[in-house]
Amino acid sequence: MWLFMCTLPFCLSQTIYIIVWINGKIVAEATEKLRRNVIELLGMSSADKYLHRDYCLCAEELQRQLEVYVELFDFIRLLTDTLGSVYLAMYILDVVSMLSFVGVLAGYHLETPAINILVTLLGSLVFALYVVFVATPFAKCHQQSMQIEQGVVTLAHRWLPMTKTEKGRCLFVILDTFRITCEKQPITFYAGHVLHVTTGMILKTLTYVASIALIVKELLIKSEESLNHHCPEIPATNINTNDSLRE
């Protein structure tokens, strides 16, 4: 019974985590390779060099990088459609679990046994790592996509003198198409079509959880102070006096 009710569901959930992470890692590595290719073009983008090169080779290289970008966008959109809702459910459950541990941790006192504090803190860190671990590849994809767009914009400015010739204008059209594609179709994973998985999302999640923990701790302290103020402890001397009067 323990195998089917606990062990098997746990293994299946970890498998889903790994599947989502592997797909994100694949896109992140491909996007990183495309970013390096754009940087290489940027490093060789002196107008004096390219004005004397074959425009067809430049156009073919740009077109090839554009096709790779479109394929990556199609793949990340496929991941959004197939795994977006799954990731959103995982994210919500992890955040709720992390909030639960953090809430319990905020309610502890100095007299609380150290083992209890350690176990609760460890649980909070585990679910925080789950959030960061799965989201990191997709956050890298978004960041690298922005860097690719910036690189293409820089190329457009550097290659502007090439528009003086007909072949140069054709090359610039491909470059402008690349820029518009990067602007309108960023390589971003949308969890359930509502949550953009970016570095900012990870930082905001951890910040919100920490803020909620501080708020809960402050409310608990004020509640205890208010309770102590309205219900003062009865001095032991008064109790002894009352007992002596009864005798």
Q: CA dihedral in degrees (143, 145, 147, 150; nearest 10)? A: -140
pLDDT at 225: 72
pLDDT at 245: 41
- At residue 40, what is the residue type? E
The mean pLDDT of 222-230, rounded to a whole number, is 71
Two structure tokens written together for 192: 């359930």
Residue 160 has pLDDT above 50, yes or no: yes
pLDDT at 47: 47
Residue 129 has pLDDT above 60, yes or no: yes
Rounded distance between C-alpha atoms, residue 227 and residue 239, angstroms: 22
**Which residues make Cβ contacts (< 8 Å) with residue 61, sequence separation at least 6?**
41
Residue 2 has pLDDT above 70, yes or no: no
Rounded distance between C-alpha atoms, residue 88 and residue 207, angstroms: 19
The mean pLDDT of 159-164, rounded to a whole number, is 70
Q: What angle do CA 34, 38, 43 make, to 5 degrees?
A: 145
**Residue located via tokens 């690298």:** 144
Two structure tokens written together for 71: 């394929």
Percent of the chain with pLDDT over 70: 80
Rounded distance between C-alpha atoms, residue 242 and residue 245, angstroms: 5
Number of CB atoms found within 10 A of residue 124's CB:
21
8 Å CB contact between 86 and 20 = yes
The mean pLDDT of 85-92, rounded to a whole number, is 92
pLDDT at 34: 93
Please indicate whether residue 32 or residue 155 has the higher confidence score (pLDDT): 32
The mean pLDDT of 101-125, rounded to a whole number, is 86
* 167-205 pLDDT per residue, tens: 667 778 888 899 899 999 999 999 988 899 999 999 999
Extents of the domains making up the chain: 9-222
Collapsing DSSP states into helix, strand and coil, what is residue 195?
Answer: strand
The chain-wide mean pLDDT, for the chain, equals 82
